[in-house]
Amino acid sequence: GTSIAAEWLPGAARALVEKGVELRGCPETLALVPAAKGATEDDWYAEYLDLILAVRVVDNMDAAIEHISTYGSQHTEAIVTSNFQRAHRFLQEVQSSLVLVNASTRFNDGFQLGLGAEIGISTSRLHAFGPMGVEELTGTKFIALGDGQVRT
């Protein structure tokens, strides 16, 4: 984790800061990215809806998946990797309405997923009232595999 962060994070951070993104990070992030501010516990839970990104460096896949399980929204999660085994593990173990490999999280949209216009988004597991059949008791997890696609 730390070696990949040391190789990749400074350049990525420079590009993000040049675009006006505010970075917040863990102590390891702060050591690699002087422009970042210290992250608080609330930052890991936040959905900013703004040009703010909280970055946590983790040691391995176990720690990454644990971080997502603890702080994620169960809405959309993505991994960027060329390692098939890691991608497959991420798809299997991360619980979210859309899990992506090498594609932008902006694809979680009813129209983009071929479902037509949406009227709302649910991240809960059980949402039915009254009599329930098989459809009401099952959920859908979308999986998207890409090679760097973005949605503009």
pTM of the predicted model as reported, rounded to 2 decimal places: 0.78
Alpha carbon distances (Å) from 134 to 107, 120, 143: 28, 22, 22
CA–CA separation, 108 and 124 (whole Å): 16
Q: Which domains does the chain have, with CATH numbers?
A: 1-57 (3.40.309.10), 74-152 (no CATH)
pLDDT band at 129 (very low <50, low <70, confident <90, very high): very low
Express each pLDDT in 15-33 by its tens digit.
Answer: 999 999 999 999 999 999 9
Express each pLDDT in 84-128 by its tens digit.
Answer: 999 999 999 999 888 999 999 888 877 777 766 665 566 555 555
Q: Give the pLDDT of residue 134.
A: 67
